[in-house]
């Protein structure tokens, strides 16, 4: 079911090199929300874009199953125990 609500008529204005239109507070769109714009025939449809969640690579199943101790054994040394040789930036 499509819910449709008439919010009024709004006039465009020039803002820099763009054309802007004000979104009324009653529309419930908060400041900073990204909107995807689609042209359907002669109509512009604005749809809020859901914010992307940051990806935590260390929370993936592959990393959880990875055997880091075995990797250190395969290297033959522990990189955490080696002092920097060049100009590496090391934050503790």
pLDDT digits (tens, 9 = 90+) for 49-76: 988 878 887 888 888 888 888 988 998 8
Query: Above 90 in pLDDT, residue 39?
Result: yes
Residue 59 belongs to a domain: no
Cα Dmax for the chain: 71
Residue 78 belongs to a domain: no
Residue 58 belongs to a domain: no
Residue 36 belongs to a domain: yes
Q: How far apart are the first and last CA of the chain?
A: 56
Which pLDDT value is given to residue 90?
Answer: 67
Mean pLDDT of the chain: 86
Residue 21 belongs to a domain: yes
Residue 2 belongs to a domain: no
Which pLDDT value is given to residue 12?
Answer: 93
Residue 40 belongs to a domain: yes
In the block, tokens 């449809």 appear at: 45
Which pLDDT value is given to residue 18?
Answer: 94
pTM exceeds 0.75 for this model: no
Domain ranges, residue 20: 13-48
Residue 19 belongs to a domain: yes
Counted domains in the chain: 1
């Amino acid at each position: 079911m499509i819910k449709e609500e008439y919010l009024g008529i709004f006039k465009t204005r020039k803002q820099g090199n763009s054309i802007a239109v004000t979104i009324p507070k009653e529309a419930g769109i908060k400041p900073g929300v990204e909107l995807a714009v689609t042209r359907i025939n002669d109509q512009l449809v604005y749809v809020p874009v859901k914010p992307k969640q940051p990806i935590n690579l260390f929370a993936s199943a592959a990393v959880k199953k990875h055997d880091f101790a075995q990797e250190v054994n395969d290297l033959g040394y522990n990189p955490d125990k080696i002092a920097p040789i060049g100009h590496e930036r090391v934050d503790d």
